[in-house]
Structure 1
């Protein structure tokens, strides 16, 4: 009987080692989705007491990163998080602790330029810095959200790298998320926004001058119902283009709210509006 039990145990152990690794499917924000809605797939395996999922893009099989969880249900993220985005090669790195972001999180472009830098304490954002660039990749604007002291800072730079403007305002960060699983977006996505803002600009085309060529960066909050508040122009303030953009956002449709852990959350958005000179 003991001999038979040993053979059965050996059979089950060998069978476990020979099992095909589990396959999971994700959207662009690394939320688990059905296969037909996925752009990323991953295979899971246990590594150093964490369940690691090694991911690739379905199209082209380009590496998408390595993500760690407490178990194979993928319900709680734990440990290192490394995500390689398709868009401009953006790379995000940070740590999770019991499902919450913890410590320093960095997002960089493929060429090493910083996109944002946020420090979390057990899921709560302490400070968040975002970087915005001219088309030639020189720093144009740096913003900082000092959540603890409830202050927002914006520093503007010339194309030559000289600091030319500094703005600071009081900001209410109550219930604002800095760790959205899905970012807020205009109804219809980027294509819907392009159609909408193009119509708004065309309606005011006679008011525009050469001073309006460039990119306005609008910052605003989107609540859990998609309502907009606190719209301000961070660049090209006082321009006709900025005024058009502010009015378009304020009087436009409600946005689709950001989501975190399956629930709508309040978040801020910085939305670019670019007007190019057709003669250049």
Structure 2
């Protein structure tokens, strides 16, 4: 008996990489899995094949598990409804949703077009909303359920050429926390996970400089299958008291991230003017300002 025995899970973007690893980990833990994947290019455009989801389904069935494929888009409200309904129709229930589907449109900000921004928001942020909202009534009625949303160190720390991706991924953190607050009384949990893994998405990172080449070589050591066991643990009954948190998984390391809280305050009885702010507040706060770190500046040690 695995920790997810008797439960049904929807995993989006599960045809490759991190999503595939999560779907397989859920199945190994005993869950029945809806394997969602569009089978499109990295940008989210142009259908490559509908086969990745089917291949993962076959892998799960070969393990003795239950799985069905779904090829709807998380960017569409009706598509998300169909994914959740597939779990109900196939397995009679839905117990967890893992929002993993993603795309990239990396462009330096002053060259980023509205479509570059919107395309990433639609899949990551709106997609996570669509699938979560589709499952929420079922979770409420049964008095249980778990959401796992994929965030990123790009949103939590920052990276070059990814303003669209960062906006989506940090937005997901805020959404996850508010879902946790709204649905706590119904026994529903919601957490965010930042995965480090060598996948199709990070394989698009440029290698034009020695520094970039060194970074990519480090990223190649990150195993996409390491994320799945943590997601299964979060969605299991063993994770019933864990909600509203932000985690990271990087090979054999698991992180708990801080959340935004005030760290300094400045007060005056007379009220502030632009002049007194620049004279007193900025210098007072300067020692605690965050530098313009990128993810790689913070996570500098080799993965273990």
Bigger strand share: 1
The TM-score with structure 1 as length reference comes to 0.28
Larger RCO (alpha carbons 8 Å, 6+ apart):
2
